[in-house]
Amino acid sequence: MKRIVVLASGNGSNFESIVKKTREWKLNIEITALITDNKNAFAVKRAGRLKVPVIILHYGDFVSKDEYNRILLEELKRLSPHLIVLAGYMRILPPFIVNEFRRKIINIHPSLLPAFPGLNAIERAFRAGVKYTGITIHYVDEGVDTGEIIEQRCIRIRGGETLSSLEKRIHRLEHYYYPRVIKDLLTEQSRSDIII
C-alpha cells in the first residue's frame, strides 16, 4: 500500500478530489493523513466527512516558524509517506524538509509556471490579459513554485470570461488532473492515457 500525506491550509477541494478518486479507482493507495497548519481550514471538515485522519499543527500555537517546521518534519517522518501532496498549503517548506523528501513532494499551482508564481495566480493571469492560462503540477524544491514541472494543462481565456468563471474552470482542471498525476507517479504507469 502506497501512503500519501496531504498538506492543506484552506478549502481542501483538491484534497477531497484526491481522496475520492483514489478510492473510486480502488488503487493500492491510501491517504494516511491530512496535515494542516490551520485548525479552521475547511479541509478539516472535509477530512472528517471522508474519514481521513487529521493532524492539526496550528501555526499560531508554535513559538516560531522553526519549531513548527521541526514538528512537521517529525510527523512526516513518522508517517513515512511515499508521496507528500501539497494542496493549497500556504507555507514554504524549509530546505531541511525538502531535502529529507526530495522528489517526494509535489504541488499544484493555478497558472502555467513559470508565469505567475506565488499568490493569487489566477487573478493575476486574468488581469494581465493573457489568452491562455492553466495549471502546473511540479516537484517542490527550495524556491517558490520553481521545482521541476511534472504536468501542465492549458485553457484558453474566452471572450466574456469573468474571474469567477475562470476560477471555476481552473479548479475543475485541477480536480481532474491532480489525482491522475498522483496515480501515475505512484503506480509508475505510462502517462500516455492522459495526453490529449
Q: Of residues 58, 82, 109, 175, which has the active-site annotation? A: 109
Residue 21 touches ligand GRF, criterion: CB under 6 A: no
Residues 6 or more apart in contact with residue 134 via CB below 8 angstroms: 111, 112, 152, 153, 154, 155, 170, 173
Residue 36 touches ligand GRF, criterion: CB under 6 A: no
Cα separations (Å) of 122 from 1, 135, 167, 171?
A: 35, 9, 7, 10
Question: Closer CB to ligand GRF, residue 87 or residue 97?
Answer: 87
Helix, strand, coil shares of the chain, percent, nearest 5, are 40, 20, 35
Q: Which is nearest to 9 in space by CA: 41, 51, 33, 46? A: 41
**Bridge partners for 34 per DSSP:** 6, 54
Nearest-angstrom CA–CA distance, 36 and 57: 6
DSSP category for residue 51: T
Nearest-angstrom CA–CA distance, 24 and 22: 6
Residue 87 touches ligand GRF, criterion: CB under 6 A: yes
Residue 138 touches ligand GRF, criterion: CB under 6 A: no
Cβ 88 to ligand GRF, closest distance in Å? 3
Residue 13 touches ligand GRF, criterion: CB under 6 A: yes
Burial class (CB in 10 A: 0-12, 13-18, 19+), 171: middle
**Which range binds ligand GRF by CB under 6 A, 9-17, 62-70, 94-102, 152-160?**
9-17
Question: Closer CB to ligand GRF, residue 12 or residue 81?
Answer: 12
Q: Does residue 171 carry a catalytic annotation?
A: no
Contact pick of 38, 174, 179, 183 for ligand GRF (by CB under 6 A): 174
Q: Footprint of ligand GRF on residues 96-135 (CB under 6 A)? A: 108-110
Cα separations (Å) of 86 from 24, 134, 162?
A: 21, 18, 27
Taking CB atoms, the residue at the shortest distance from ligand GRF is: 88
Residue 94 touches ligand GRF, criterion: CB under 6 A: no
Residue 88 touches ligand GRF, criterion: CB under 6 A: yes
Residue 47 touches ligand GRF, criterion: CB under 6 A: no
Cβ 190 to ligand GRF, closest distance in Å? 25
The residue ranges that bind ligand GRF (CB under 6 A) are 8, 10-15, 87-88, 108-110, 174
